[in-house]
Structures are given as C-alpha cells and as structure tokens.
Amino acid sequence: MSEAFGELPPSWHAVLGDELAKPYFRKLESFVATARATQEVFPPAQEVFAAFEHTPFESVRVMILGQDPYHDNDQAHGLCFSVRRGVKIPPSLRNLYKELKTDVGIDGPDHGYLQAWAERGVMLLNTVLTVQAHKANSHRKKGWETFSDRVIEVLAAREDPLVFVLWGKPAQKKLPLIERAASHGHHEVILAAHPSPLSASSGFFGSKPFSKVNAALSGWGKPPIDWSLPD
C-alpha cells in the first residue's frame, strides 16, 4: 500500500493502470506522501480510492462529480458529498436530501453516509481526492485533476451507457471531455446548479436529478437506482 493513498482496486487498475506509471502521477504520489509526513491530510490513505472500491468499473451506472474533499475532522472518507456517521450533515448534502424528498418522495436519514448509493452503482467521485486538514483546495493543481479527467474519459468511452450528473460550473466544464470520449454518444448527462446554499435556489431545487437518472436507466432497460439510505 502506498503511504500516500493506497491501491486502486483491480477492476479500475485494469483501465487506469497505465495512468499510475505516468510522471505526473508519480509526482502527485510523492507530493501527497510528503504532505502526510508533515501535516494532517484527509481522507486517510486507505480511503482515498473509496469511490473506486465501492463502485467497480463495470458496475458504474451513474457518476456524480464533486470537487474538493471535505477538510474538517472525520468528514472526508473518499466519497463526494458523503460524511461519516456521527458527523454533522453539511449544507450541500442537506439540500440534496431536500431535493430527494421533493423529487422522489424519499426522506433523507439523520446521517450523511452515502456508501449505500456507491454500492448500488452510483460513483461518488471528487475531482481532487486529498486535502490538507482545514485548508480547502490545498491539493488542487497537483495532478488529481488530470487523473480524475482520465477516470471520466474511460467511463465515457465505455460501450455500456451511464448517467453523468454534473452540478455547478466546475463539474459542467467536464461536459466536452465526456462528449469527446463518448464515440458511441449514448450516455445521459444531467446538468443543474450546485446544491450549495449559495446556488441551490438558482437551479438545483426543482431540477429532479434522482427521477431523471432513473428515467434514463429505465429507457435503457436497466433497473432504477434505489435512492433510499439506511438509518
């Protein structure tokens, strides 16, 4: 296991293994390892690739794209928007739960742990996978963006269709990447404002992402996502 961020699971290593040997990724690994040796870094090394571990490559039916990991204690565990049980639910996730209720009638639980979604085929990927404690965006432009772009590309190049959910302008900048990689042109892309309190009322609330995801899956003859979360 790398001191920086553990190992990619086999299904993902098969499609991203070449990426791990590239100079930028070696440099990224060195940067994160050094950061861990001198400061607190979230999430723990064994959870950096949690999104890949809980949602194997061939199992991805939906990708929800986040940005920077949460940077306060015990929050980040490798899945975007998700926090560990017992941690206060962040505002953006509270807004997700509000839309979940109005869209498909499902009440959000009293925790913010979204692993059940990941295990049902919803990949919860941040574009940057590590962060210095209490210092937002501190690991941006160190190589993670290049890696997460490649993740998006290998999924978009897959013959089996999936739904990309892009909330907010940073995520929506990935749309051309998806369109270029998707030679089959058959994926569904759902665009809306970010669920952050700063923008949720300007195009996230009422966007019905959960029902739209399931409508797309049903249109392909695939089972819908069970969006309920265990208490």
pLDDT digits (tens, 9 = 90+) for 157-216: 999 999 999 999 989 999 999 988 876 668 999 999 999 999 999 999 999 999 999 999
Exposed (0-12), middle (13-18) or buried (19+): which is 218, by Cβ within 10 Å? exposed
Domain-embedded: residue 2: no
For 71, the token pair is 């940077």
Catalytic residue ranges: 68
Domain-embedded: residue 37: yes
54: nearest Cα among 6, 118, 1: 118
For 129, the token pair is 């996978």
Residue 119: give its domain's CATH number. 3.40.470.10
**pTM of structure:** 0.95
Domain-embedded: residue 172: yes
Question: Per-residue pLDDT tens for 110-153?
Answer: 999 999 999 999 999 999 999 999 999 999 999 999 999 999 99
Q: Which residue shows structure tokens 């959910």?
A: 165
What residue numbers bound the domain in which 42 lies? Answer: 10-219
Domain-embedded: residue 231: no
Domain-embedded: residue 3: no
Crossing angle of the two packed helices 144-156 and 10-20, in degrees rounded to 10: 130
The total of structural domains in the chain comes to 1
Domain-embedded: residue 133: yes
Domain-embedded: residue 64: yes
Domain-embedded: residue 99: yes
